[in-house]
Amino acid sequence: MVSLDVLRDAAALVHETVQPTLQHSWPLLNERVGAEVWVKHENHTPIGAFKLRGGLVYMNRLRQREPDVAGVISATRGNHGQSVAFAARHNGLAATIVVPEGNSSEKNAAMQALGAALIESGHDFQAAYEFTLAEAERRGLHLVPSFHDDLVTGVASYSLELFDAVEDIDTLYVPIGLGSGICGAIRVRDARGLATKIVGVVSEKAAAYALSFDAGKAVATNSADTMADGVACRVPNDDALAIIRHGAERIVTVSDEAIMAAMRDLASDTHNMAEGAGAVALAGLTKEAERMRGKRVAIVLSGGNIDRALYLKALTGDTPN
């Protein structure tokens, strides 16, 4: 267990740069689900996603540990890369970001606008990550992982804000990419001694964490071909899985069609744009709506960074692919 003091100190560091995001209970969404639903709006950070919090804490602690670090490199599908680029620039470091080929052009542009040098390599995130390992070694750069204790401690600040603002939440639905968000939520819940149940949500096309949760050990998949690129994980992180298995109630799988429907619901009920991963939590709650009826629940709208063409498909009810 991480102490509440450590979590609050990390949140204070985050808040030096990023204002706390708001949480709202939207009447139309409450009617749709049949519960009191609180939306944590991580789509309103300066990079449009929760990842920024972890990057700020990680980079601050890196500078303390390695004051002469030459530069950083990381693999991403987008939001982690924006976090690394933002936090690196904030700490006076050069950042190189590796993305898979065919990655979101708008997320790529956002990372470059934050000063990152962009490299495209590999057919998916795992292939890009493996290239990054070799490139870090070759160029003598510090490799920023996608899951690390400092990242978890940083992103935990959004759960701290949520639990400070809203009492007696029965269940919190959190999307799972590599796991920093849900692990941060579990740490805050436990540090505060709350009874809130935490449910992870993944795409059924990227079900590695759901399979691993059920099997009690890491289970990799051959592909993670979901339109929700922020949760497109096919190789679980062992440390993340241990925290999730210990502290999560269950993991729900949802279809890409359900994710796109949740994107539409968030647009109509809250007037907020959600990327696929940002709508995954609502898709999970919607799947379990009868189970949650009449309860006070919360979802994490983890990000709003999505290419326009894909978002238009979601809004018009088109098929994911």
Q: With pLDDT > 70 as the criterion, what percentage of the chain qualifies?
A: 99
Beta strand pairing call for 117-120 and 36-41: unpaired
**Domain 51-143 indexed as CATH 3.90.1170.40:** no
Asked whether the predicted pLDDT for residue 40 surpasses 70, the reply is yes
Cα-based distances in Å from 125 to 178, 199, 206, 222, 231: 11, 24, 12, 12, 11
Residue 321 pLDDT grade (very low, low, confident, very high; cuts 50, 70, 90)? low
Asked whether the predicted pLDDT for residue 320 surpasses 70, the reply is no
pLDDT of 91 reads: 94
Q: Where in the chain is the domain with CATH 3.40.50.1100?
A: 4-49+149-316, 51-143
pLDDT tens track for 81-122: 999 999 999 999 999 999 999 988 888 999 999 999 999 999
Indicate the fold that domain 4-49+149-316 takes in CATH: Rossmann fold (3.40.50)
Nearest C-alpha neighbor of 178 from the set 73, 45, 54, 40: 54
Quote the CA–CA distance of 303 and 80 in Å, as a whole number.
11
- pTM of the shown model: 0.95
pLDDT of 291 reads: 98
CA contacts within 13 A on the Cβ side of 157: 30
pLDDT tens track for 201-221: 999 999 999 999 999 999 999
pLDDT of 236 reads: 94
Quote the CA–CA distance of 109 and 116 in Å, as a whole number.
10
Residue 1 pLDDT grade (very low, low, confident, very high; cuts 50, 70, 90)? confident
